[in-house]
């Protein structure tokens, strides 16, 4: 056996120095595996016959395998995309997208595809997958699984909410409807309420309800979204069943009158009318005691005061609204009504909770 191994060793040396194929030949000339000889017959020791196939991983500069248009598209995406936009690309979710942004900030924009492999965690195989994903993105249906879905119905893409320039927050009471119009800059544009004389009266005539709700809808300002409070009255609470039926009726009429007819999941147009859970707003402002929500009048008074005394208040009130409602939310006073308070707090909570889920 030792003679046989010496014969093999001598043959290997002769083939390397003489450059002849002989019994042993090189199978790959593109990487380190070219230095490993492979036997031409099957009876050699397994350590000699278990040589891998020719290399297919290292084929030269990455730029050579893409057209100039493809290279430009890939480099433009890698050089200009934000962290959120990079995270959509396959394999770039998490640390890899952060590494790309840090690398181009420190070293300047990528000029070649080959330079991308210098980014930590991005080697040849990963880079090819990223490039192909940029050129051929996989289209996926939008699935919203975000914190916002816990208190907003129906579920919609958060980006639509973030793009909204203003919202109208509506709260229905037993005899009135209140609303607050707030823009994305957290400034109150409109804040008022209207008495509805037909609510919870007589035989609950649908036509009478529709008349009151329609008058309110005509007065509402234009906005990107209308947020309607969703009460937390339990169906099992039989004592409050008439009130719950009343709330659901008004809510349904508001949805029907405010929602455009062409809005549907198939049309890819976001719904304009949304529900916000009353309990979620209460928890946001610390107004919940067990399952019940306390008055938000004191919180509203504080917000109005901060609008005057602080440089960066949570919400800004125009002077005319401060004058109009400065005495409306005193302790024991029912002049302003809880509906006005709740409509304002719901608008503030909407923007603040949206900001929290975006960060």
* pLDDT digit string, tens, across residues 153-201: 887 777 788 888 999 999 999 999 999 999 999 999 999 999 999 998 8
Cα distance between residue 313 and residue 305, in whole Å: 9
Q: Which of 172, 184, 191 is nearest to 318 (CA)?
A: 191
pLDDT value of residue 229: 96
CATH 3.30.70.270 fits 148-262+269-356, yes or no: no
Domain boundaries, the chain: 62-135, 148-262+269-356
| Residue 289, φ and ψ in degrees, nearest 5 | -125, 100
- Looking at residue 261, its pLDDT comes to 65
Positions of the chain with pLDDT lower than 50, given as ranges: 2-4, 7-8, 12, 15-59, 141-149
pTM tops 0.85: no
The string of pLDDT tens digits covering residues 316-335 is: 999 999 999 988 887 655 55
Q: How buried is residue 90: exposed, middle or buried, by Cβ count under 10 Å (0-12/13-18/19+)?
A: middle
Instruction: Give the pLDDT of residue 333.
Output: 57
Query: What is the reported pLDDT for 264?
Result: 53
Q: Which burial class, exposed, middle or buried, applies to 42 when counting CB atoms under 10 A from its CB (0-12, 13-18, 19+)?
A: exposed
Domain spanning 62-135: which superfamily?
A: AF1531-like domain (1.10.150.280)
* Predicted local confidence at residue 22, as pLDDT: 41
CA gap 232, 281 in Å, rounded: 11
Residue 336: per-residue pLDDT? 55
pLDDT, position 300: 95
The whole-number pLDDT of residue 295 equals 92
């Amino acid at each position: 056996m030792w003679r046989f191994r010496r014969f093999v060793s001598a043959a290997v040396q002769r083939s390397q120095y003489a450059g002849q194929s002989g019994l042993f030949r090189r199978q790959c000339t593109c990487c380190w595996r070219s230095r490993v000889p492979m036997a031409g017959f099957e009876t050699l020791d397994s350590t000699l016959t278990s040589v891998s196939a020719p290399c297919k991983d290292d084929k030269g500069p990455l730029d050579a395998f893409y057209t100039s248009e493809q290279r430009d598209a890939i480099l433009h995406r890698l050089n200009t995309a934000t962290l959120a936009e990079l995270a959509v690309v396959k394999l770039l979710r998490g640390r890899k997208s952060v590494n790309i942004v840090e690398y181009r900030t420190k070293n300047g924009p990528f000029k070649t595809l080959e330079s991308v492999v210098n980014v930590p965690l991005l080697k040849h195989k990963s880079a090819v997958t990223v490039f192909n994903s940029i050129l051929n993105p996989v289209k996926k249906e939008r699935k919203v699984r975000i914190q916002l879905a816990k208190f907003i119905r129906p579920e919609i893409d958060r980006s639509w909410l973030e793009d909204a320039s203003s919202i109208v927050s509506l709260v229905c009471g037993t005899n009135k409807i209140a609303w607050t119009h707030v823009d994305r800059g957290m400034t109150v544009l409109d804040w008022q309420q209207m008495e509805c004389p037909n609510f919870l009266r007589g035989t609950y005539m649908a036509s009478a309800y529709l008349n009151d709700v329609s008058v309110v809808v005509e007065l509402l300002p234009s906005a990107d979204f209308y947020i309607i409070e969703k009460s937390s009255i339990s169906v099992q609470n039989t004592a409050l069943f008439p009130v719950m039926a009343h709330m659901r009726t008004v809510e349904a009429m508001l949805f029907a009158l405010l929602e455009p007819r062409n809005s549907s999941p198939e049309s890819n147009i976001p719904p304009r009318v949304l529900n916000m859970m009353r309990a979620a707003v209460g928890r946001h402002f610390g107004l919940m005691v067990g399952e019940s929500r306390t008055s938000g009048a004191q919180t509203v008074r504080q917000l109005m005061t901060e609008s005057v005394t602080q440089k960066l208040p949570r919400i800004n009130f125009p002077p005319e609204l401060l004058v109009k409602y400065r005495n409306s939310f005193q302790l024991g006073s029912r002049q302003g009504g809880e509906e006005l308070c709740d409509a304002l707090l719901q608008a503030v909570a909407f923007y603040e909770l949206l900001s929290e889920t975006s960060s």
